[in-house]
Structure 1
Amino acid sequence: MLALNSVILTVFFFLLPLLPAQSQADTLSDQRVASFIESVRAAQTLAPEFEELERQMDNQNESTMPDFSRIVSESLEQMKGHEAYGRLEDVVQDHGFDSLESWGATGDRVFQAWMAIEMAEQKPAARQEMEAALAEMENSPHMTAEQKAQMRAMMEGAMGAMQSASNAPAADIEAVRPHVEALRQLGEE
């Protein structure tokens, strides 16, 4: 469970402060994925200026598991009206995106495909760890019924997130696969 949570949290916190929609009919090309990664690197330079917005967004999202199919878009929706939105739009346009909406859609697809790749690599172990943790929690005499209900809800959310990520289109997964290491590095930065 720790490995899955680590991957989810690393990626979630990497994209959350930046975080919208492009048509699935568009091809997710190698260049588009590379441009998205470079735009995220450039956008990270804005992060120190918008720490309060990041805290607000973290607080709003802390009790829910992200929808990996819309993680970037949903975060951008939360940013609307904030100075960061306009600044981020300038950055993404400098990297070849027409708008934050098209950048967000690309980000949604990149992120979902990346999570599908990561989860496929650890799926059996992650599911087993989650089931073991759930059984341990259910049998724990040290947890209240309320605590068990909260943990159960979190586990169900994680399972839903895994399902959401696994729904990534095969073409998107193949487009993102060559960039996995760059995405991992970005998540660590």
Structure 2
Amino acid sequence: MWPHSDLLFLRQLRGKDSQGEEVIKPYTPTTLDSDVGYFELVIKMYPQGRMSHHFREMREGDYMAVKGPKGRFKYQPGEVRAFGMLAGGSGITPMFQVTRAILENPIDKTQVHLIYANVTYEDILLKDEIDSLAKNYPHRFKVYYVLNNPPEVWNGGVGFVSKEMIQAHLPAPASDIRILRCGPPPMNKAMAAHLDALGYTSEMQFQF
């Protein structure tokens, strides 16, 4: 299966909201194309979310309409020296998929640096899996967590992701690096402004 250029496979899921109206929403699997026969999704449930309602109503054994894959992120092993990643909330899912694909490919030596922002510690998705990657690939993968409301004992970042955090934890601007970002629209906008101010060109940036 290696090397492969299509790391990101979006799936469109179809359901019904609390009013019975159809909802179609894309999700990024956390599994890879090499995981044959199934795919896994990380779903963040919202009290008023239209698709969240559908998932709350589902029971084990139920079927769901799925369309895809589509919206692929193109990448070849060794294409860049390092990736810097800026993720917020459920925006971690494409980052996790790309990171897994890179680290688990025995011929890919690309470095990955992730800044992952959330409101509280409990909001951190896939933390055990991310920490396991950091432990298993200590020389290739680094993660820095940022929380708006951290617990009393916390050694990560506090507040919003700043230019200083990006400078400290992501690779510096260069022709052989790429910065990926995925999060809520306000975060994406703020991160784009930080990256531009720090000298990252548009060619060095990609937003999911």
Higher RCO structure, 1 or 2 (CA under 8 Å, sep 6+): 1
Question: TM-score range, shorter-chain basis?
Answer: under 0.3
Structure with greater helix percent: 1
TM-score (normalised: structure 2): 0.24
Determine which structure has the larger strand proportion and give its number. 2
